[in-house]
Structures are given as structure tokens and as C-alpha cells.
Structure 1
Amino acid sequence: MNSNSDVTSRTVTALGPQLRRRKSIKHMVGEAESNSGQLRRTLGMWQLTMISVGATMGTGILVILGAAVPIAGPAIWISFVIAGVTALLSAVSYAEMAGMVPVSGSSYSYSYATMGEGIAWICGWCLVLEYAVSVAAVAVGAGEYVNQTLRTFNMELPVSLAGGPAEGGVVNLPALIVVVLATLLLVRGARESAIVNTVVVIIKAGILVFFSIVAFSAFNAGNFEPLLPMGAAGVTAAASSVFFSYIGFDAASTAGEEAKNPKRDLPRAIMLSMLIVTITYVLVAVSAIGAREWTWFVGTEAALVQIVGELTGQPIFVLIFALASVLAIASVVLTVLYGQTRILMSMSRDGLVPAVFGKVSKRTGTPVAGTLITGIVVAITAGFIPLGALADATSIGTLFAFALVGVSVMYLRKRQPQAPRTFRVPLYPITPILGIFACLFLMSQLGWHTWVVFLIWMLVGIVIYLGYGRRRSRLGQLSKQDYIASHVGENQ
């Protein structure tokens, strides 16, 4: 298509119709197959499961547990169950969509195939918030655990290197280094990154099991009385907070074009990762409360490390736990950063973000330029910029994206009921409806300042779409006849 026809086609599609234009699933799968020579299909079900577990299990349980206990009291484990059930209701919808649309765009691509370009852009913009900002927030937690390791040797990072300007320092050096190392590893290749991630996931699962064993050795059932000192409202408020701990289970869905058998393995990996993460979280929460009264957690940083140190009295165990915690953080950074680069790659193919994010290196089989750009931005954010309410807004952006996946499942069940599905949501339509309402409920429990930040983020996204994405959208440039032809064989 020449430049003149580009200009003509861009003026043909009015904003309303363009926002409603859906991308054909057949076309998406065809694009993925045409790019199979660039991205390399090297990931099996085990690696995919470890990507989701690696992106999920980390700083959330290591840091947020201590902050959430004062909100819910001994019933914090119920908060984890509520957040886990909400995530699970969304996970089954992800599993069905991942089997039907085995591409790298996750819920962005699912929304594009069902609700149109406008909602797809909003969803993609939410995923940028979920992935890029949350990975920076996760990396920031590295500073405390690095210091916890150094304290074993009676050393500590200087204040100037342990936190950004908002914490009275100059740069959070551990956070910056973790992001840089993860970026360089991702540039090398998905297979190499998956191997490293699998090893680290096994290590961090091991330390959480170790913590539970140590904590249960000092278990006191009396610590669970009264169960609800802050009332039911405290439990639901904490559930909204600890939902951050479940962010990342959808990371496997971003690997659709690097999976050996995506239609079979993606649904299995998503469900298996949710099972592993939820059981581990509840086990850790129950054992932590059993070991210490809930009031002990007020103002306590790195609570799990402190419990290990107090109960064992052995600095070596503190050292091992702190080091493994740093690895856990690095694993989350690695896998979430991976997901972000693949989502941007999908959006780039559609013309909604610059083409540089979609260029795949023939030598490494990875989007090198996009990975480096994303890594640099995240490293600067983690090292220098105070996240504050922006980090809190990752939960609201994620919940919104999860709700859209439930809507996508219901749309395709109605429009394409006979389409092949390698996984079907059980108890349809009750399950996706419950998932949507659960996400909306947890969103309603978040503070007003979080909503303000989220709305500002959405407004920025709308401005970028109208100023850049709309004019460069490949789907928007199709004539009406070509657009209709691209959906031949699909119910409209």
C-alpha cells in the first residue's frame, strides 16, 4: 500500500467504526505462524508453567504479607483465598482464550478479537501498567533484601544507594542492577531465560516451604483469636491489596508464539501455576500467623526473614533466605519483563505502538530493540522514580484486564459456539460472570487515590491512541471491503 492510499484509507474509517473493528482470530493465528521463523518455539508446558509461577510468586508474598496482616488481622489467609479465587475465576477464562488465540498478546489480543480496537488498546494500556510498573515496584523490593543479606555480615548499603530520591537516597542500585541483568538475559533468548527462571522458581518455592516448616515449629493456635479484629471490611480490603501477589499468572499467555504446542500447553500451564501459587500463599500466611501474633507485623519490614531469624537463631539461615529472596525478586523481574516485551511486540504488529518494538533479531530470536528500550525505562523507574500510588494502581489495571478476558470468553461462546476449544471454562456462563464481578468488586475496594491515578493513566493512553495509534493502525487502514473479507468464515 502506497502513501497516498494510506492517507485515503485513514480518512475513510471514522473513529466510531474503527474503535469497533475486530481482528480475525484466523488472521492473528496466521500472523503468528508467519512469524514462527523469527520467534523460536522452544517452550514446553513445564517451562510455560514456570514462567507464570516465576512472574507471580515473589515480592508479593515476601513483602505484601507483612503490610496486609495489620489490615485483616489473623484472617489474612482468608484474604489470600478471596484474591486467589478471584484470580482463579479469571485464570479459567484465560485458559480458554489462550487455547483459542495462541498468540503473544495475552488479553490485548483476546480483546481485539472480540470487543474491537478501542477496548483492545485500553486493555493493552492496562497491561503496560500491570507489567512495566509492577516490575519496577517489584525490583524496588530488592534493596531491602540485599541489605538483609549484608546485615548478616554486619554491613549495609549506604542510604544513597539503597533507595531513590523519595527515600532520601540517590538511586536504588539493587533494583536498577536486577532490571539490567534481567534485560540482558532476555536479549540472549527465550530458552535461556526459561532455563534460568525454572531453576530460580524451584529455589524460591523451596525457601517458602522451608519458611512454613520453621514457622509451624512455633505454631500457636491462639494467634488466630479473634479471627476478625478488623471486621469483614478489613478482610476484603486486604484481599484487594494482596491481589498484587497474584499479578503475573497470565504471563504464560504472552508466550503463545514461543510455545511448542500452545493450544494444548497454555491452558494447562495457566491452571497449574494458579494451583501451585494459591496453595503456597495460603500455607505461608497460615504458618506466619501461627508463629507470630498479628500485631507483631505492624511496622515490620521483611517479616518472613525476621521470623526465620528469630525462630532458628542461626544467621546462616537468615543469609540463605535473604539471598533466595533476592533471586525470587529477580525471577519476577525476568518473567514479567518478558511478558511486557511480547505484548508490546503484538501491539507493534498492529501499528498501535512504534515498529521498533516488533523487530525480532534473526540471531537471538528475540525482540532485542524492544527489550532494551523497555528494560531501560523500567530500570530508570525502579532506580530513581518514587512509585507510590502508581504502583498501587497496578492491581486496578490488572483487575480491569482480567474482567475483559471474561467478557471475551462470553462473546466468543455466543458468536463462535462451534469453534474448536482445547479448554472450556467449567460451569459456563456462571464462572466468567463470577470472575467479572469478583474483579469489579475488588476494584471497588481500592482507595480513591488509586482510582485517580488509574483514570489519569487511562487519559494518557487515550491521548496516545488518538495522536499516534489511530492513524497508524493497520486494521484501521483497511477498506470496508477488505475488512469484511478478513472475517469471512467468522460470525459477525
Structure 2
Amino acid sequence: MEIFAKMGRKKPMHIIKAQELSREEDDSVKLSLFDLLCIGVGCTVGSGVFVLTGDVLTVAGPSAVVSWLLAGLVCLMSGFSYMELSSRVPTSGSTYAYSYFALGEAMAMIGAVCLTLEYGISAAGVARSWSSKLIETIESYTDADLDVLHFWYTDPDTADMDAYFDVLAVVVMGLSTVVLAFGLNMGKIVINLFTVAKVCLVAFMVIAGFAAWPSTGYGTEAYSSTDEFLPYGIGGMLLGTSKLFFGFIGFDEVACLAGRANNPRKTMPLAIGGTLLLATIISGLAQASLSGMIVPCDSHPDWNEQNPDAVQCSTSPSFADAFRLIGWSWAAAIVSFGEAILLPIVVLLAFIAQPEMMAAMAVDGMLPSIFAKENSKGNLTMGTIISGTAMSIIAGCVPFDILWDMISLGVLVSFCLTNSALICTRLSGPEGNNKITGCLIFIWAASFSGEYMLWKGYFEGYFDSGVDNSTLNDAVLYGAIALIAATLLVAIGMTFMFKEVEESKAETGRVFYAPLVPLLPVVGINLNFFLMAQISWINLAYLAIVIAVSLVWYLVYGIGHSAREFDDDMPALDHTNRSSQSSQARRSSQSSQARRSSRRQSQYLAESLKAHHKDEEINESTVELAEDLEPDSK
């Protein structure tokens, strides 16, 4: 059907290159490798160190240090895909751009929804989290009652979540919008300063934590034996890995800023890989320090009686709590107020990619052109204000628990899309391959089913101390393992059945190459679905509703305004007509179609550039830029 052919339309590489060149030639703000690392580290090193390091101790104990390393490796499975695609498709949009190039328009729209959850909605969620943290910190050191800043729309005594209008969350989200609306140059200065300050705070926490070991009466004992290091066994360490994976959310955000980067083909893989490496090292050191400072009461219920001269155990482990227990109230104050002061930068960091992604969609015709309009200084002012206003409303009204699970699901689906896009880029090429598509559909279906069976049908009960393990159904476990193994066998089979397409080979030596494709991307897809399975069904239903609404928007608006709508070089639409022609006539027809297609896309690109640079005049050479980059159009 014609509508399905349109939904599968892909964005040609020569258009992407034309947009890349137009970005290189303009005088808008550029991001260096240091800028991108500050954005990546600023996004990932935040709640992971301040919150998750304490939470994971009650699940994994000191072995949480290894959990951080394993979580970093899990992220790397998908990180490799981002590193290669960010150098192959060096344009703004991240998963949206990769999906549009390799999977088609409809999948690109789904990718855009997932990125909105990761960027804009994440910023709103962090704003609410910061508001609660600030109020808690101020109230713990003063007699102030700041609950008046929360306007409950349910009974606060019976509510099981933060069901209130949050004034402070709206304020910090609004301020982030204002900073970004003034331009990326101002934004990156603020981000770099706050990120350096945050790293300095974490360095203080780590150094002071190690220095406090002798005062705790615990210290090196945390690593003295297997029983101490693994109080909850290997299972606890693996469960900790699942929790800590979300401490790396944001590492891929730098990929959405490729259009603003200096030399993105070289810079982006370094920025993504560097972010993962630095986040793993910093978080791992913080975890090692905290593990020797504090004793969780859950794993050591008799600690206080058996060690009266040592530090008391804690029911809610954290750096601030650890410093208080050993009498270092000054250090606890530095940590508490430092976190409250620096956490707002995560709001700005999470939101910074949202206008860029929406601008990329507007350039492609998937959103109104106002989101792509830049002022004379190259700032996406209107798009920033519109999206920032929407996120401020969400930050004020929607409970954090709902936001967090939706964010996590969006991130994991976007990872799966990026892994799939890399497989298609390597093995399918721009024309597509139905066999590759069939393999990916099977991998998604089998992986989703297998991982949900593995967690919901077995591991969820296995890790629940209140469930008798003898009641677990081993048949469910074996069935899940069989499905997961089938996806890996298909990936291995694809390696031998399909060769890398010529378009991909042509980039050899110019782009970063991820190892073991398609096996590692399929491993990444399985790991992502396993983590998704740990989120409630109701939130999965919420995500399905959001995706359905976005597809309705696509069918009503995007499919008719898309730049690809002007491209009549679509094999799926004119296959019947061309098949009746002689080979010579077919070549002539294809050449003519390519010229018309390239010209239409060039004209659309020129209109998009006018939207980007409304105060500049677009000359004829710019109009023909995309056509010049397409060899078949000559």
C-alpha cells in the first residue's frame, strides 16, 4: 500500500551531507570536544553519584563497585552504535536522525517521541526531584516550613506520590529555558562552569570518604571477604547492575548535538565514548569510597550491638548521612547544599538537546517550520520557548514517579532503535532489504518476549525474598533462554548471510566502526528489553499511548509535509511501472527521476535553510548544494 511505502521513506545521505555542510559554513556557536564531554558528564554524573550510590548498597553491598562497571559495559553495547552512527550521520537528531536514515519516517517519529521523553520530560522530572531535594535540605538545617510551595491536588496524607503543583520545579525549568533561549554560547559557558564544579564536589566526596574510613570502624572490612563484599550474592550484584544502568542516562545526549559540533565525524565518537568512560570511573570511585564509609542496616542488622565503638549502621545510606554518622557535620553540609545548588544544571543539560531535535524534525517537515527558525545569532529562540513552556507545565503538574518510568522506557526504546539502525546501515543500505527487516522483526519480537518471560516469569520472584523459589516455574526460564538464544543465533547467521553494502564500505577509514555487528547490537537490544521488563505494565501502556498519539500526528501532518513527500524516486511506488520498461529505458527513467528527486530535495533544503537563517539570503549555489552532492543526478 502507498501509505506504508511512505511510512518507510528514508532520508538520503546527500541531503544529510548538504545540511552538514550548511552548518559548517554558518557562524553559529560550535561545540568542542571539551564542551561535549561537559554536557555528557554533566548529564550522567549527578543523581547516579548523589542518590544511586546509596540506594544500590541495600541491594548489592560493596559489590556495587562491580555493578557500576557492568552497567557501563551494558551501556557500551548500545554506545558503540551511537559512536558509529554519530560519525556516519553527523547531524542533529540522534536516534531520530539515525532512524530516518536507516529505518524510515514512521520509526523516526517513534524515535523522536523517545528522545522527547529522554530530553524534555527528563528535564521536567529532574526539576521536580531538585525541588524536593532543596526543600528537604533547607528544612533539615532550619526551622522553615517550605511545603507551602507545594499545592496538592489530592489529600497529602493519603497520596502515594508527589501529586502536587510544584512551584520551584516550574521556576528552575523556566530559568533553564531562558538561559538556552539566549543562545548556546551562554548555555555552554554555564554548563561548563557547573559541570566542573560538580566534578569538584564529587572529588571532595570521594577523597573525604576515603579519609573517613579509619573513623568508621568499617573501611577496608567491606572488601575483606567474599561474604562482606557480596552480602546478597551474585544475584544482588546483577540486580544492582540493573539499577545502576539508569545512572548512565544522558550519555547519548551528546549525539543529538552533532549538528553543533566541530568536525562531528571525529569528535562525536570520542565524546560519546569519553562520556561513558569518565562516568564509569567517577561513579565507581564514589561507590568504592561510600561502601567503606557506611554500613547498611539491611545487610548488617546486628552491627550496632556487635560493634558499639564503630559507626552506626544506616537505613538510608548516602554520603551526607555517612558524614553525619561519623560526626563530620561540615562535610555533610557541603554535600547536601552542593547537591542542591548543582542539581539544577542537570535540568538545563537534559533540556539542551530538545530544541535541536525538534529543529531537525522541522527541517524535515515533520513539525511546523517555526521550530527550525533561528535568529541572527543562530539561536533556536522560538523553538526553545515553546518546548520549554510545555516542559515547565509538565514539571509543575506531573508526579515524578510517573515521569521517571516513562523516561526510562523512552531511553531503552531509543537504544533499541539505534542498534537496529546500525544493523540496517551496514547490511541493508538506502534501498532496504526485506530479509534484513524480517530478521529484525523476529529479533525484536523474540527478545521482547524472552526478556519479559525471564524477568516477570522468573527473576522477579527469584529476587523477592518473600517468594519461595521452589514455586518458580523452570519451564518459563528455559523458554525465555531459548528465545533469547534464538535472537543471538539469528544475529550470527546474519553475519554470514549478508555482506556489508557498498554505501557502508565507502565510509571505511572515515568513520568509527563498531565491533561485531550485528551481534553486539542484538545483545544490546536484549539487554534493553530485560531492563524494560523491570518497569510496570501500566507505564508500558502509557508509552504505547504516547507513541500512538505521535503516529496520529505523523499521519495527519508529518506524512504530507515531509521533505520526502517531494521525492518521487521511491522504488516502492513506481516498481510496477519501471518493471515493464526495457533496461535502457529504465536506466534513462531512473536517471531522470534522480535528477528531479535531487532538485526537489535541494529546493526543500533551501527552504529549510531559509527557515534556519531568515535574515540571510540563500543564493542559487546553496539551492543546488544537495544536487551537486548526488552523483546520480549528473
With normalisation by structure 2, the TM-score equals: 0.69
For 1:302 and 1:222, locate their aligned partners in 2 and report how far apart those are by CA, in whole Å.
Answer: 17
For 1:372 and 1:157, locate their aligned partners in 2 and report how far apart those are by CA, in whole Å.
Answer: 32
Residue 408 of structure 1 corresponds to which residue in structure 2?
421
Question: Does structure 1 residue 275 correspond to structure 2 residue 277?
Answer: yes
Shift of 1:33: 2.9
> Which range is displaced more, 264-273 or 60-69?
60-69
Question: Does structure 1 residue 289 correspond to structure 2 residue 301?
Answer: no
Structure 2 SS opposite 1:475:
helix
Structure 2 SS opposite 1:171:
strand
User: Does structure 1 conserve the Cα–Cα contact (< 8 Å) formed by 2:57 and 2:317?
Assistant: no
User: Does structure 2 conserve the Cα–Cα contact (< 8 Å) formed by 1:164 and 1:171?
Assistant: yes
For 2:359 and 2:325, locate their aligned partners in 1 and report how far apart those are by CA, in whole Å.
Answer: 47
For 2:54 and 2:538, locate their aligned partners in 1 and report how far apart those are by CA, in whole Å.
Answer: 22
Q: 1:442 aligns with which of 505, 528, 531?
A: 531
- Pick closer, same or farther for the CA change 1:300–1:294 going to 2, 3 Å: closer
- Pick closer, same or farther for the CA change 1:161–1:37 going to 2, 3 Å: farther
Residue 243 of structure 1 corresponds to which residue in structure 2?
245
Question: Does structure 1 residue 209 correspond to structure 2 residue 203?
Answer: yes
For 1:488 and 1:126, locate their aligned partners in 2 and report how far apart those are by CA, in whole Å.
Answer: 32
Shift of 1:389: 3.0
TM-superposition CA deviations, 1:74-118 (whole Å, max 9, x none)? 433333333211212222221111111111111110111111111
For 1:167 and 1:398, locate their aligned partners in 2 and report how far apart those are by CA, in whole Å.
Answer: 32
For 2:544 and 2:236, locate their aligned partners in 1 and report how far apart those are by CA, in whole Å.
Answer: 25
Question: Does structure 1 residue 460 correspond to structure 2 residue 549?
Answer: yes
Question: Does structure 1 residue 180 correspond to structure 2 residue 195?
Answer: no
Shift of 1:166: 6.2
Residues 411-430 of structure 1: pairs in structure 2 closer than 5 A:
411-413=424-426, 414-415=500-501, 416-420=504-508, 421-430=510-519
- Pick closer, same or farther for the CA change 1:286–1:73 going to 2, 3 Å: same
TM-superposition CA deviations, 1:217-247 (whole Å, max 9, x none)? 2253444645555555554444333322111
User: Does structure 2 conserve the Cα–Cα contact (< 8 Å) formed by 1:223 and 1:294?
Assistant: no
The letter of the residue matching 1:470 is I
For 2:143 and 2:364, locate their aligned partners in 1 and report how far apart those are by CA, in whole Å.
Answer: 51
User: Does structure 2 conserve the Cα–Cα contact (< 8 Å) formed by 1:203 and 1:324?
Assistant: no
Structure 1 SS opposite 2:40:
helix
User: Does structure 2 conserve the Cα–Cα contact (< 8 Å) formed by 1:212 and 1:284?
Assistant: yes
Residue 345 of structure 2 corresponds to which residue in structure 1?
331
Shift of 1:205: 1.2
For 2:238 and 2:394, locate their aligned partners in 1 and report how far apart those are by CA, in whole Å.
Answer: 30
- Pick closer, same or farther for the CA change 1:246–1:424 going to 2, 3 Å: same
For 2:155 and 2:254, locate their aligned partners in 1 and report how far apart those are by CA, in whole Å.
Answer: 34
User: Does structure 2 conserve the Cα–Cα contact (< 8 Å) formed by 1:103 and 1:256?
Assistant: yes
Residue 26 of structure 1 corresponds to which residue in structure 2?
14
For 2:35 and 2:152, locate their aligned partners in 1 and report how far apart those are by CA, in whole Å.
Answer: 34
> Higher RCO, 1 or 2 (CA under 8 Å, sep at least 6)?
1
> Which range is displaced more, 460-469 or 332-341?
460-469
For 1:440 and 1:303, locate their aligned partners in 2 and report how far apart those are by CA, in whole Å.
Answer: 30
- What RMSD in Å do the two structures reach over aligned CA positions? 2.9
The letter of the residue matching 2:219 is N
The letter of the residue matching 1:268 is L
Residue 469 of structure 1 corresponds to which residue in structure 2?
558
For 1:299 and 1:121, locate their aligned partners in 2 and report how far apart those are by CA, in whole Å.
Answer: 46
Q: Which runs of 5+ in 2 are unaligned?
A: 157-162, 300-312, 427-499, 570-592, 602-628
> Which range is displaced more, 473-482 or 137-146?
473-482
Q: 1:134 aligns with which of 107, 122, 130?
A: 122
For 1:220 and 1:133, locate their aligned partners in 2 and report how far apart those are by CA, in whole Å.
Answer: 40
> Which range is displaced more, 153-162 or 466-475?
153-162
> Which range is displaced more, 291-300 or 95-104?
291-300
- Pick closer, same or farther for the CA change 1:60–1:444 going to 2, 3 Å: same
Give the number of aligned pairs: 476
For 1:374 and 1:302, locate their aligned partners in 2 and report how far apart those are by CA, in whole Å.
Answer: 37
Q: 2:48 aligns with which of 31, 51, 60?
A: 60
What fraction of aligned residue pairs are identical, expressed as a percent? 28
The letter of the residue matching 1:407 is S
User: Does structure 2 conserve the Cα–Cα contact (< 8 Å) formed by 1:133 and 1:394?
Assistant: yes
The letter of the residue matching 1:309 is R
- Looking at CA atoms only, which structure, 1 or 2, has the larger radius of gyration? 2
Residue 621 of structure 2 corresponds to which residue in structure 1?
none
Residue 381 of structure 2 corresponds to which residue in structure 1?
368
> Which range is displaced more, 176-185 or 428-437?
428-437
Residue 452 of structure 2 corresponds to which residue in structure 1?
none
Residue 252 of structure 1 corresponds to which residue in structure 2?
254
For 1:167 and 1:306, locate their aligned partners in 2 and report how far apart those are by CA, in whole Å.
Answer: 30
For 1:285 and 1:165, locate their aligned partners in 2 and report how far apart those are by CA, in whole Å.
Answer: 38
The letter of the residue matching 1:329 is L
For 2:122 and 2:34, locate their aligned partners in 1 and report how far apart those are by CA, in whole Å.
Answer: 24
- Pick closer, same or farther for the CA change 1:153–1:445 going to 2, 3 Å: closer
User: Does structure 2 conserve the Cα–Cα contact (< 8 Å) formed by 1:393 and 1:453?
Assistant: yes
The letter of the residue matching 1:319 is A
Q: 1:192 aligns with which of 186, 189, 195?
A: 186
Question: Does structure 1 residue 320 correspond to structure 2 residue 314?
Answer: no
For 1:105 and 1:50, locate their aligned partners in 2 and report how far apart those are by CA, in whole Å.
Answer: 19
User: Does structure 2 conserve the Cα–Cα contact (< 8 Å) formed by 1:240 and 1:443?
Assistant: no
Shift of 1:141: 1.8
Residues 151-166 of structure 1: pairs in structure 2 closer than 5 A:
151=139, 153-161=141-149, 165=153
- Pick closer, same or farther for the CA change 1:41–1:118 going to 2, 3 Å: same
User: Does structure 2 conserve the Cα–Cα contact (< 8 Å) formed by 1:305 and 1:321?
Assistant: yes
Shift of 1:336: 1.5
The letter of the residue matching 2:321 is Q
User: Does structure 1 conserve the Cα–Cα contact (< 8 Å) formed by 2:183 and 2:381?
Assistant: no
Residue 497 of structure 2 corresponds to which residue in structure 1?
none
- Pick closer, same or farther for the CA change 1:233–1:33 going to 2, 3 Å: same
- Pick closer, same or farther for the CA change 1:299–1:352 going to 2, 3 Å: farther
User: Does structure 2 conserve the Cα–Cα contact (< 8 Å) formed by 1:171 and 1:384?
Assistant: yes
For 1:411 and 1:314, locate their aligned partners in 2 and report how far apart those are by CA, in whole Å.
Answer: 56
For 1:17 and 1:462, locate their aligned partners in 2 and report how far apart those are by CA, in whole Å.
Answer: 15
For 1:367 and 1:433, locate their aligned partners in 2 and report how far apart those are by CA, in whole Å.
Answer: 36
Question: Does structure 1 residue 351 correspond to structure 2 residue 365?
Answer: yes
Residues 26-175 of structure 1: pairs in structure 2 closer than 5 A:
26-35=14-23, 40-151=28-139, 153-161=141-149, 165=153, 168=156, 171-175=165-169
- Pick closer, same or farther for the CA change 1:27–1:76 going to 2, 3 Å: same
With normalisation by structure 1, the TM-score equals: 0.87
Residue 219 of structure 2 corresponds to which residue in structure 1?
220
User: Does structure 2 conserve the Cα–Cα contact (< 8 Å) formed by 1:244 and 1:395?
Assistant: yes
User: Does structure 1 conserve the Cα–Cα contact (< 8 Å) formed by 2:294 and 2:314?
Assistant: no
> Which range is displaced more, 64-73 or 478-487?
478-487
User: Does structure 1 conserve the Cα–Cα contact (< 8 Å) formed by 2:296 and 2:316?
Assistant: no
User: Does structure 1 conserve the Cα–Cα contact (< 8 Å) formed by 2:14 and 2:630?
Assistant: no
Shift of 1:385: 1.9
> Which range is displaced more, 269-278 or 156-165?
156-165
For 1:302 and 1:355, locate their aligned partners in 2 and report how far apart those are by CA, in whole Å.
Answer: 49
> Which range is displaced more, 109-118 or 204-213?
204-213
Shift of 1:369: 1.0
Q: Which runs of 5+ in 1 are unaligned?
A: 1-12
Q: 1:379 aligns with which of 392, 400, 423?
A: 392
User: Does structure 2 conserve the Cα–Cα contact (< 8 Å) formed by 1:214 and 1:311?
Assistant: no
- Pick closer, same or farther for the CA change 1:299–1:142 going to 2, 3 Å: farther
